[in-house]
């Protein structure tokens, strides 16, 4: 530091030492508020830039001839095929099947919810599809999440090992049944418990009560 900077730093240290406890607390609160304000503005700027980027993109309406996926026009190579989708048809997915190797087919009820925009429940199902999926899950992912809120790409990184922890087949200590416990009680009661969970408040009881949602076929 040059002489002027050293002088300013010395005056600042002297001022800090002379502060009362109240003045020190006020200064820290003011700095914390300023820091949060700057961080919020940075987060908002990143969010606005992301929205602008998405809005600026051409609609993903180019269909892959092999996997029928939707792609941006810019992703298509000179031969009209997509590498990012299926390596130009080289990657082939096996048909989903059950434990006995029978082809797994979606029920007409599920297919209609997934594909028919005229279905009155189509929008609700698509808007809350993650909630419907979680509501009929046998287990959930539990972990200690460390949030690094400094911007950058959204990444979920797992450290150490993942284990499947089982619990009682029936709920204990007055807790509401959850996950696999819901499959050993009356189905009507189980459905009510699922849709009454705060995370599923937007789920439609008519959809959740359909057995083909829980069984998948």
CA dihedral angle for residue 33, residue 35, residue 40, residue 45, rounded to 10 degrees: 140
Q: State how far the alpha carbon of 81 is from the alpha carbons of 48, 69, 74, 78, 128, in Å.
A: 32, 11, 11, 8, 33
pLDDT digits (tens, 9 = 90+) for 127-155: 998 888 888 777 777 777 777 766 666 67
Count other Cβ atoms within 10 Å, centred on residue 190. Answer: 21
63 phi, psi to nearest 5 deg: -95, 130
Does 119 have pLDDT greater than 50? Answer: yes
Please tell me the pTM assigned to this model.
Answer: 0.46
Q: What tokens does 120 get?
A: 């009155």
pLDDT digits (tens, 9 = 90+) for 55-110: 555 566 788 888 888 888 878 888 989 888 888 988 887 776 666 666 667 788 88
Distance between CA atoms of 193 and 129, rounded to whole angstroms?
18
């Amino acid at each position: 530091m040059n002489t002027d900077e050293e002088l300013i730093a010395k005056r600042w240290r002297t001022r800090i030492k002379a502060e009362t406890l109240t003045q020190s607390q006020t200064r820290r609160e003011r700095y914390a508020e300023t820091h949060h304000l700057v961080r919020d503005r940075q987060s908002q700027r990143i969010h606005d830039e992301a929205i602008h980027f998405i809005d600026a993109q051409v609609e993903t309406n180019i269909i892959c001839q092999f996997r029928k996926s939707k792609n941006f026009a810019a992703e298509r190579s000179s031969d009209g095929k997509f590498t990012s989708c299926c390596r130009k048809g080289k990657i082939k997915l096996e048909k989903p099947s059950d434990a006995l190797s029978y082809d797994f087919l979606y029920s007409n009820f599920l297919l209609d919810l997934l594909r028919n925009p005229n279905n009155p429940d189509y929008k609700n199902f698509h808007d809350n599809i993650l909630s419907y999926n979680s509501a009929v899950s046998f287990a959930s992912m539990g972990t200690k999440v460390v949030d690094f809120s400094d911007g950058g790409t959204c990444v979920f990184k797992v450290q150490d090992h993942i284990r499947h922890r089982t619990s009682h087949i029936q709920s204990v200590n007055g807790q509401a049944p959850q996950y696999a416990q819901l499959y050993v009680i009356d189905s009507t009661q189980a459905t009510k418990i699922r849709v009454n969970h705060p995370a599923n408040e937007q789920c439609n009881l008519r959809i959740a009560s359909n057995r083909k949602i829980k069984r998948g076929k």
